[in-house]
Chain A
């Protein structure tokens, strides 16, 4: 497969790298200011940007950097409570060749997200069950 090369591609990648960084730091500032709703929306944008950056870095042959940005995207999703998406990204990150201690840190984060995803599923099941017992009976909205 041919890798995209050349200055326009690289400058676009650099622009996106910069944008992801800016969004992350802005989200952090909004958290500091207690503006939770805006922080959530900025973090979601940062997550999307980091995912895009990771793919482009992979395409540019910068696999190690791609892992860093994939983990960064996963960390945003984790903070947003989107654990299943975080798990997918962390699993993708672990498929690369990584230094031992970094791999361990990602594995710990993966375990944490899997636990949260499991608890979320359990909560959703309980809510659904309670709603059925509440007399709604049939399958709503289907």
Chain B
């Protein structure tokens, strides 16, 4: 029997939880991806590194069960006709990251800025940067996580950072959620 702590939430909750982001499309894309593999709820193993949400107690792993409504499922059916798979996976990862911060991290409201052609996510009340990535292949996870750690720690504000890397492989749905401190605050150059 699986004795990991289990949390079960509606993915649609992120829309109200993160008022400074428009996340409806991320919800729909997450459901498009999850519903290919599972009926609602879809299960993910979540592994925390470098921190533990207080709700977890002494554990660093838990089971996340993500629910969605029939209405969202209907919208999600159309997504595969119009969107690129890579874009769907990345937006789905943003949705799951938003769910974790909304439910398990006090003051975990997210904001976004743009830097060139990429989006940078921030947790302003925690003074942290956030990097999110998604993949459909479990063997890509270690490399993605390494890249995201480097990126999050090179944020221009010199803030500490979280990374959330989601794997949507049917055989192994996994989220690696980690916290990283700036070891040495970088000196500013003029």
Task: Tell me the A residues contacting B by CB distance below 8 Å.
Answer: 17-22, 24-26, 28-29, 32-34, 50, 64-65, 67-69, 71-72, 75-76, 78-79, 97-103, 105, 109
Contact among A21, A32, A97, A102 with B21 in the assembled complex (CB-CB below 8 Å): A21
Task: List, sorted by A's number, 25 A–B pairs whose CB atoms are closer than 8 Å.
Answer: A17-B20, A17-B111, A19-B20, A22-B20, A22-B22, A25-B23, A28-B22, A29-B24, A32-B29, A32-B83, A32-B91, A33-B82, A69-B113, A71-B113, A71-B114, A72-B115, A76-B114, A79-B114, A79-B117, A97-B188, A98-B188, A99-B186, A102-B156, A103-B189, A105-B116
B93 CB to closest chain A CB, in angstroms? Answer: 14
A102-B111 in contact (CB<8A):
no
The residues of A that contact B104 with a CB separation of less than 8 Å are none
In the bound assembly, the distance between CA atoms of A19 and B112 in angstroms comes to: 10
In the complex, how many angstroms separate the beta carbon of B64 from the nearest chain A beta carbon?
23
The chain B residues found within 8 Å of chain A, CB to CB, are 19-26, 29, 82-83, 87, 91, 111-117, 119-120, 124, 154, 156-158, 186-190
Q: Is the CB of B119 within 8 A of A28?
A: yes
Establish whether residues B115 and A64, one from each chain, have CB atoms under 8 Å apart when the complex forms.
Answer: no
Residues of chain A with a CB closer than 8 A to B87's CB: 32
- A-B interface pairs (CB < 8 A), number: 89
Please measure, in the bound complex, the distance between the C-alpha atom of A68 and the C-alpha atom of B122, giving whole angstroms.
Answer: 11
B124 touching A102, Cβ below 8 Å: no
Interface centre among A65, A75, A76, A78 (most CB of B within 10 A): A75
